Amino acid sequence: MRWSELETEPCPVARAMSVIGDRWTVLLLRDALRGVTRFEEFHRRLGCSRAIVSERLAHLVERSILVREPYELHPPRHDYRLTESGRALGPLLMTMSNWAETWLPGTSAYRVRRIHKTCGHAFQPVIQCSECGEPVAPGDVEHVDPRARLRTPAQKPA
C-alpha cells in the first residue's frame, strides 16, 4: 500500500497520517506553530534537503493546513501561514511533546515552556473527557470499532 492510498482509508487515524504521517511534515508544523513562515527558516531549522522542504510545504498547502501568500511581488516571495485546521494541530503537537518529555530520556534539558494565555501559567496539556470533565487516564478508554461486528473472531454466526 502506498502513502497516497491512505487518504482513501475510512479510519481517521489513517487519514490523519496521510496528511501528517511524515517526520519532516510534523517538524514543519512544529515550526509553523512556533511562528515560522518562510522557506529558508523552515529549511534552516529542519536540516533536511531543500527538495523535501519544498515538497512537504506544497503537500500541506494542498491539504489546506497551510496557505501560501505573497508578501512581496518583486521578486515574488511567499510565506506559509497556518489555516484554522493547521492551528488545530497545536494540541496534537503539544500532546506529542508532552509524551516525549514524560517517556523519552534526554528531553529534560530542552523543555519548551507553554504558557496558557488566559491564566498566565506554564502548563502541561491534560486530556479531559468531554462528558464528565475528568482527566482521562490511558486505561480508562474502551474502543468500540464500528466494523467490529463484521469480523471479531469472538463472533459466531448461528
C-alpha cell at 56: 512537504
Q: Does residue 104 bind DNA (CB under 7 A)?
A: no
Stretch that binds DNA, among 32-40, 88-96, 106-114, 142-150 (CB under 7 A): 32-40
Listed in sequence order, the residues at least 6 apart from 108 whose beta carbon sits closer than 8 Å to its beta carbon are 101
Crossing angle of helices 23-33 and 50-62, rounded to 10°: 70
In the set 12, 70, 76, 157, which binds its own copies (CB under 8 A)? Answer: 12
In the set 49, 64, 85, 124, which binds DNA (CB under 7 A)? Answer: 49
In the set 38, 50, 77, 111, which binds its own copies (CB under 8 A)? Answer: 111
Binding-site string for its own copies from residue 71 to residue 90, where x marks contact by CB under 8 A and - marks none = --------------x-xxxx
* Cβ atoms 52, 81 nearer than 8 A: no
Q: Does residue 99 bind its own copies (CB under 8 A)?
A: yes
Q: Is 2 exposed, middle or buried (0-12, 13-18, 19+ CB in 10 A)?
A: exposed
Return the one option of DNA, its own copies, none that residue 78 interacts with (CB less than 5 to 8 A, by type): DNA
C-alpha cell at 111: 523543555
Q: Does residue 126 bind its own copies (CB under 8 A)?
A: yes
At closest approach, how far in Å is the CB of 135 from DNA?
35
φ, ψ at 125 (rounded to 5°): -75, 135
